[in-house]
């Protein structure tokens, strides 16, 4: 019974290891094809929420000096 359980365990380990290797190789092959398909003439894709050039943005200034000024104003 122990021999059968060890064989099933070894087979399952080999299947999981083979699947992991296949997934890794396909991911590497896909990223290599993607890198080779992009040429220097293609424009980089912009994020959909990226601001247009010249558009104003709201941001929070978390520089040390600004935070110290806010702390001094609060006390």
CA 21, CA 18: separation in Å to the nearest integer? Answer: 5
For the stretch 8-22, pLDDT in tens is: 999 999 999 999 999
Instruction: Give the H or E element holding residue 19.
Output: helix 2-37
Higher pLDDT, 33 or 27: 27
Could you say which DSSP state residue 60 is in? -
Domain boundaries, the chain: 1-37
Could you say which DSSP state residue 48 is in? T
pLDDT at site 74: 82
Residue 34 has pLDDT above 80, yes or no: no
For the stretch 35-68, pLDDT in tens is: 666 555 567 788 888 888 888 888 887 888 888 8
Instruction: Give the H or E element holding residue 10.
Output: helix 2-37
pLDDT at site 7: 96
């Amino acid at each position: 019974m122990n021999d059968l359980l060890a064989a099933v365990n070894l087979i399952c380990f080999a299947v999981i290891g083979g699947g992991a290797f296949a997934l890794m190789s396909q991911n590497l092959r896909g990223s290599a094809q993607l890198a080779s398909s992009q040429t220097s003439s293609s424009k980089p894709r912009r994020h959909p929420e990226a601001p247009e050039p010249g558009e104003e943005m709201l941001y929070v200034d978390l520089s040390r000096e600004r935070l110290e000024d806010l702390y001094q104003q609060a006390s």
